[in-house]
Amino acid sequence: MRLLRIMFPGRSPAGVSTATRWAAGSLAMLTFLIASLLPGRAQTAPDISSPQAILLDFDSGSVLYERAADTPSPPASIAKLMTMAVVFGEIDAGRLSQDTEFKVSEYAWRRGGAPSGGSTMFAAVNSTIKVSDLLRGAIIPSGNDAAIVLAEGISGNELAFTVRMNQEAKRLGLTGSVFVNSSGLADPDQKTTPRDMAKIAGSIIREHPDLYKIYSEPDFLWNKIRQNNRNPLLGMSLGADGFMTGYEKDAGFNVVGSAIQNGQRLIVVIMGAKSEKERAEDARKLLEWGFRSFESRTLFEPGQIVGEATLYGGARNGAPLTSDAPIRVLVSRMGDEKLVARIRFEGPVPAPVKKGEELARLMVYRGDQLALETPLVAAETVPAGPLWRRAMDGAYELVVSLLRQGYAKLTG
């Protein structure tokens, strides 16, 4: 039987009980209690009407609330977050200048411009526009024409640009998203999830902080037409500073927003609301509740041993696991809550392993809700063991495999 140990060595973080527990297989579980600062019961989440939502803490990645957060749905204009993620990447890598000018094709004008009847920056056909203005046209009034012009200017045509969008989705670890255009215009094959949109939003803030500031600009003047920022959260005194809305008949009303208060940043995604008012109110309720009800706690400091992964054929039986960064989770300010932590890995891990090599992931659950997922790496290098140890490990794994097969037949 393979064993994995999760442990809190030495003095625990404040409010976390020390514990050590052993479990079989490639999944181990440790239950620990985090004590709150204040007495009383944890405050319940607000009642929202939208069918899909997620609220998470930017710094720790802790999920505070979710509803159907992994159900793929049409994104509408919030798909432009992925468009901007690709464009921002080109700018920050030095492959694209904000002073570069792109031509407005007839396709971009007809599909996303004034003749389309959708959100537009009113770009004139066959005109040339600087990337800096196209960015604002795509973000502030959510111009479909601006998004298409950027896609064509970077990749030659919109279809080729969507290849870049889906490559970026893979890099970010999105699991429920497929992008088939740059604007978010209706297409039965284009889908995303609240969790995926939150990941894109977080990556933009983290990787492109200067360009992210465009999302907070209140208005945009182009072609003698001044258009206000469509993000309703910006005017709600929440500390909101970015992201955008979307609407289409099959998608309903969507919004992605981010706000910061007292150094704490939250990201909220609402999808499928029935009206502009509903999406704005639901997002506001979640943000206010999140800021009021949660605080950050450190579970493990950088370099602290979190657990041990079983090794196969190594100089020792296990590799200690740690994190290069603090592992933090948001906990309720109002009452004690029980968090369940699990280390997941495909094991046993074959030796040798190098220090810093990712071996596992720490999953922290608040009830049935995944509150935090973060990678764990080897805290030290473990070389391959001598031939006799590898032979013993091989024989052991063979026996375990045969026992599992026999058990599967009996229970199958």
Which sequence positions are flagged as catalytic? 77, 80, 142
For 90, phi then psi, to 5°, come to: -65, -40
Beta bridge partners of 247: 253
317, 327, 319: which is closest to 354 by C-alpha?
Answer: 319
Q: Which residues contact 42 (CB under 8 A, 6 or more apart)?
A: 36, 293, 332, 334, 335, 336, 337
137, 299, 92: which is closest to 229 by C-alpha?
Answer: 137
Angle at 110 between CA 122 and CA 97, to 5 degrees: 55
Q: Is 383 exposed, middle or buried (0-12, 13-18, 19+ CB in 10 A)?
A: exposed
Q: Which residues contact 395 (CB under 8 A, 6 or more apart)?
A: none
Q: Which residues of 234-246 are buried (b: 16+ CB within 10 A; e: fewer)?
A: bebebbbbbbbbb
Q: Which residues of 285-299 are buried (b: 16+ CB within 10 A; e: fewer)?
A: bbbbbbbebbeebbb
CB-CB contact of 362 with 376 (8 Å): yes
> Quick count: other Cβ atoms within 10 Å of Cβ 98?
12
Say which residue the tokens 């904000």 belong to: 98
Which segments of 251-293 are extended strands (E)? 252-261, 264-273
SS3 at position 88: helix
